[in-house]
Structure 1
Amino acid sequence: MSILDRNQSIARLDAEPGKCWDLVIIGGGASGLGVALEAASRGYSALLLEAHDFAKGTSSRSTKLVHGGVRYLAQGNIGLVMDALRERGRLLANAPHVTRKQPFVVPVYRWWDAAFYGAGLMVYDLLAGRLGLGRSRLLSRAEVLRRAPTVKQAGLKAGILYYDGQFDDARLALTLALSAAEAGAVLVNHAPVIGLLKQAGKVTGVRFVDSETGIERMAHARAIINATGLFTDQTRHLDDPSRPSTLSLSQGIHLVLDRSFLPGDDAVMVPKTADGRVLFAVPWHDRTIIGTTDTPIPEIALEPRPLEQEIEFLLTHAALYLEKAPARADVLAVFSGIRPLVKADGVSGTSAVPRDHLIITDPSGLITLTGGKWTTYRKMAEQTVDRAADLAGLPPVPSNTADRHLAGWVEKAGDYADPLTVYGADADAVRALMASDPALAAPLHPRLPYPTALVIHAVRAEMARTVEDVLARRTRALLLDAAAALEAAPKVATLMAAELGRDETWQQQQVEAFAATAAAHHL
């Protein structure tokens, strides 16, 4: 079974305080975890340090789609679409337990839209080539209503069916972390980097703090990679405070509704709303996700909150395309994420900013990976490790991750309605816990699909250190029903305290901290 053990990671660091790592990676989101796996799988020694928790930021707040990007095709970014479609196919093959093929219905209310969007989706299929998930085709009005019975019927002419991928983003991040650890990488969460070590103007290591003990440590490295997403500029400023900003920030929010708003297995995609945005309604973990917005924002927030105009935009536009119009009272949860987009000259509005990634090597040797999207994380990591190996003079080793099965891989995934499916082969360990104690087989909360055993598994095998780690990312309770997650928090804190050796004061602090986080997730 795959295991992440924070105490073992800290012990390894303390056992070799003068070790010079091939790579130190700052940041434990999609980019950083991908780099850690890429480096370790080539035989390079790799240490990853995450300030909070794996996928705490943007990497756990996506639209849950592994996609080529239909709208990027409309923007003419053929290269990005081709890369994403290729990586989409690889990811679905390498992690079938946390990904799946997702059919989409595009409702058509004007006949010329059928020709326009149909032609675009045919190009989408052609670009995917042998890694395609299925051929798009025209649907009759009756077929649209059979596949998506809640879509707005007035004026409906026809529809288009196409296929993309879906995933659980935070669970994929954990899968990458487990895979990197299996390959030999050392990972530590809740360990913010507070400074860079330098010699003759070149970065040679990092200073970081163990948030749990307050102990400061140093780690030396031949190459240091900044993969901190939203905090890209802050990390570069540790190297040179005068460096100009790299990012253009955009916020996107999603509303989570019950399954009745989209009772079938098909998602719905509206290619162009009245203000030019794309609107998705996606079935996910027996819920319906409506999103997304694209709102320029001036500054970073670790726990971003939805803006009132974003909430109203999604409710209003969902009502335009769904027979059952959602109201505020129907929203089980709302989650907000900030996109760290690379600034582009001459582009007005963040929705038009390219989603390409950028690899920057500063004069000090600090390597920064920024931008990009979840779907292309592997290629981004491959290119970054190539750059780092060349800079550090490491022996060249070709990438082997394109066809590398990720931790928990199973030949055939189970029923995606089963919350244990995302654990793949590691689900057997959870089932063993459930069999060992009837209390662990009981539901964590009546409105949540998770057995209590997942809390114990998260602590013992997945480096969960806080109540939020468990309810937001090891499980997705906070996104499925924010109120239920808050009600479950005291129980989770009690179980975790017994595992981690914490006292009642810690439990109370954890529940209070989680309540503050949950406040940003319900209306």
Structure 2
Amino acid sequence: MLRAKMISEMKAVSQWDICIIGGGATGLGIAIDAASRGYKTILVEQYDFAKGTSSRSTKLVHGGVRYLQQGNVKLVLEALKERGLLHKNAPHLVKDQSFLIPNYKWWEGPFYGLGLKIYDWMAGKLGLGPSVILSREEALQHAPTLDQEGLRGGVLYHDGQFDDARLAINMAQTAVEQNAVLINYMKAGQLIKKDGKIEGIRITDQLNGDEYTLMAGTVINATGVFTDILRKSDDASKSAVLSLSQGTHLVVDKHFLPGDTAILIPETSDGRVLFAVPWHNKLIIGTTDIPVPSPSAEPIPKEEEINFILDNIGNYLEHEPKLSDVRSVFSGLRPLVKGDAENTAALSRDHYIELSESGLISITGGKWTTYRKMAEDALKVAIEAKMIPDRPCKTEFLPIHGALPKVDYSDPAYYYGTDLEKIRAIENDQPLMAEKIHENLPYTKAQIAWAAQEEMCMTVEDALSRRTRALLLDAQAAIEAAPLVASILAAEYGYSNAWIEDQIHQFNQTATHYLPNPIPTNSN
């Protein structure tokens, strides 16, 4: 998957069936669905694939226990089905994760136990494992560092855990294998209209300033938190459909919750659930929910969010994590639909699709777990509007790039699936490439080179935030690894020392916000 090759293929096509704007989970899912049906498909993304919300989740592929508690049975059924399908289609990325709900009150065991039995029943044959009510001793076997004072027992259940950005990259590769064209750092600009109907868009290459025109019979707005900006570009009279919220996560060392079991706190001081989930040999704790007035590409965690997470998780762990224990802190924005837009077809309570008078299809809301169903629903709208011919959906059983039936999860690079053998071949042929990029990170030089050669990695941030997850696992280590990573990418692309220096500077500016105690970056 090479960007130059994608641009060359783009130039060779004069008319597209479908043009997708936005390279997050939703847009990538639509690209796979559309291309696999045989539609001539192109996707453009103004930043990197999954730069925004789609790389900043709690890393769960789940039915949504809290939605069941709210009585949203339809959504839970849909999400549980999609969880099961994704577990089958991307087994190298989606794995079974056991969760413990600790019980400190007499009624919590039977209450959550019954609810989770219903959750199991709803999952049916696509379930990942049965829930179990545990005694106090059994709960401590699964989570020995739980606060023991007043602990009565727990309920153990199963959900899915994954690497969101890695899934996004593999989805991009899957779409390309289905003959789609995908280009990151390509910004959509002016919509092209004739007689009030959209015929295409103008786009600008963010890396060199080149401008192009894409003509397309169907244009789909899958820009996540930026959805309203494109909707209003289409029709200035449109009212906003999104209300944005920010969710922040902290990453700490695994010793705060050793073992493989995650914990779920069903109700925090603000009424949300709180997760502590093992991930890449670290522990992710989150999340928060605070309103934000406008979208941004790089949301910044607030001190109150960090304190909220530390205070709440500290009530349940024997050893309370302190600010000094935090290796990284990251925030993502959620596109929450706040009400029906004009002419909106709400295909589920979780995601909304709008077909405007000009023919722009906007899809927003939703969550990672249901991306495949969202894509299918978006194309259903285009088919029903006779914008594209009716062809059956093929994604229900379509494997994602890298799918491997038997995965060794003990290998720190398991998530590469079938590609891991090729990366190891690079390391075997060039022993220096087997060296780590930093002593505190699990990634090798070969993985950076592979990202440039096969995964459309264009910047140091792409490499350290999404092709590897270094920035999310240990922000300080990522900052220290940036010069080496920049030099590897420069060697792959033939870039100058000036490019290397500029990339290090840009990365440090971004990475500073992932540190719990921000430090000034070198401006030279």
In structure 2, how many angstroms separate the alpha carbons of the residues matched to 1:70 and 1:322?
A: 22
Partner of 1:430: 423
Residue 376 of structure 2, aligned match among 375, 378, 382: 382
2:260 is the alignment partner of 1:265: yes
Residue equivalent to 1:71 = 66
Q: Matches of 1:262 and 1:305 in 2, distance apart? A: 26
Residue 487 of structure 1 aligns with which residue?
Answer: 480
Q: Contact 2:246 / 2:334 at 8 angstroms: preserved in 1?
A: yes
Deviates more, 1:460-469 or 1:355-364: 355-364
Asked if 1 retains the 8 angstrom alpha-carbon contact of 2:145 and 2:256, the reply is yes
Aligned partner of 2:242 in structure 1 is 247
- The SS at the match of 1:333 is strand
Q: Secondary structure at the match of 1:470?
A: helix
* Greater Cα shift, 100-109 or 273-282: 273-282
- The amino acid across from 1:395 in the alignment is P
**Residue identity matched to 1:397:** R
* Structure 1 residue 355: Cα displacement: 6.7
Picking from 489, 493, 496, the partner of 2:489 is 496
Within a 5 Å distance, the mapping from 1:31-430 to structure 2 comes to 31-344=26-339, 356-415=350-409, 417-430=410-423
SS of 2:402's equivalent in the other structure is: coil
So what's the TM-score if we normalise by structure 1? 0.96
CA distance in 2, matches of 1:187, 1:287: 32
Q: Secondary structure at the match of 1:23?
A: strand
CA distance in 2, matches of 1:360, 1:492: 42
Output the amino acid matched with 1:71. R
State the shift of 1:390 in Å.
3.2
Compute the displacement of 1:76 (Å).
1.1
Contact kept? 1:409, 1:424, Cα under 8 Å: yes
Aligned to 1:512: 505
> What secondary structure is seen at the aligned counterpart in 1 of 2:154?
strand
Q: Distance in 1 between matches of 2:271 and 2:126?
A: 29
- Answer whether contact 1:223 1:392 (CA < 8 A) is retained: no
> How well do the aligned residues superpose, as a CA RMSD in angstroms?
1.1
Partner deviation per Cα, 1:362-410 (whole Å, 9 max, x = no partner): 1100000100000000000011112123334422111111111111111
Identity rate, percent: 53
* Unmatched tracts of structure 1, length 5 or more: 346-353
Amino acid aligned to 1:428: E
Contact 1:414 1:421 in 2 (8 A): yes
Is 1:13 aligned to residue 17 of structure 2?
Answer: no
Q: Distance in 2 between matches of 1:290 and 1:310?
A: 12
Which residue in 2 is equivalent to 1:460?
A: 453
Deviations 1:440-480 (A, max 9, x none): 00011000001110110000000000000000000000001
* Whole-angstrom distance in 2 between the partners of 1:280 and 1:71: 12
Report the alpha carbon displacement of residue 240 of structure 1 after superposing the two structures with TM. 1.5
Give the TM-score normalised by the residue count of structure 2: 0.96
Measured after TM superposition, the shift of residue 116 of structure 1 is 1.2
Q: Which moved more, 1:320-329 or 1:382-391?
A: 382-391
What is the distance in 2 between the residues matched to 1:123 and 1:266?
Answer: 21
Quote the Cα distance in structure 2 between the aligned partners of 1:491 and 1:259.
Answer: 27
TM-superposed CA distance for 1:262, in Å, is 1.0
Secondary structure in 1 matching 2:166? helix
The equivalent of 2:437 in structure 1 is 444
> CA–CA distance in 2 between the matches of 1:519 and 1:242?
39
In structure 2, what residue type is equivalent to 1:497? A
1:111 is paired with a residue of what secondary structure? coil
Write the distance in 1 (CA, Å) between the matches of 2:503 and 2:137: 51
C-alpha separation between the residues in 2 aligned to 1:394 and 1:193? 22
Residues 243, 336 of structure 2: 8 Å contact kept: yes
Deviates more, 1:117-126 or 1:383-392: 383-392
Deviating beyond 6 angstroms after TM superposition, the runs of 4 or more aligned structure 1 residues are: none
Equivalent AA in structure 2 for residue 343 of structure 1: K
Deviation of the 1:15 alpha carbon: 2.6
- Please tell me whether the aligned partners of residues 208 and 216 of structure 1 are also in contact (alpha carbons under 8 angstroms): yes
Paired amino acid for 1:10: I
Partner Cα distance (2:380, 2:493) in 1: 39
Q: Secondary structure at the match of 2:209?
A: coil
Distance 2:405 2:36 in 1: 21
For 1:199-221, what per-residue CA distance to the aligned partner results, in whole angstroms no more than 9, with x for missing partners?
10001101000111101001011
**Aligned letter for 1:21?**
W
Aligned partner of residue 19 in structure 2, secondary structure: strand
Whichever residue aligns with residue 413 of structure 1, its letter is: V
In 1: Cα distance, 2:181 partner to 2:281 partner:
35
> Once structures 1 and 2 are overlaid, which stretch shifts more, 107-116 or 418-427?
418-427
**Letter paired with 1:381:** A
Letter in 2 for 1:373: K
Partners of 2:18 and 2:41 within 8 A in 1: yes
> Structure 1 residue 14: deviation in Å?
2.0
Partner secondary structure for residue 254 of structure 1: strand
Q: How many residues align?
A: 509
User: Structure 1 CA distance, aligned partners of 2:396 and 2:272?
Assistant: 32
Cα distance in 1 for partners of 2:25, 2:459 equals 20
- Cα distance between partner residues in 2 of 1:235 and 1:521: 29
Letter in 1 for 2:488: L
Specify the code of the residue in structure 1 equivalent to 2:365: G
Given the alignment of the two structures, is residue 477 of structure 1 paired with residue 470 of structure 2, yes or no?
Answer: yes
Deviating more after overlay: 230-239 vs 281-290:
230-239
What amino acid does structure 2 have at the position aligned with 1:518?
Answer: A
Measured in 2, the distance between the counterparts of 1:71 and 1:476 equals: 28
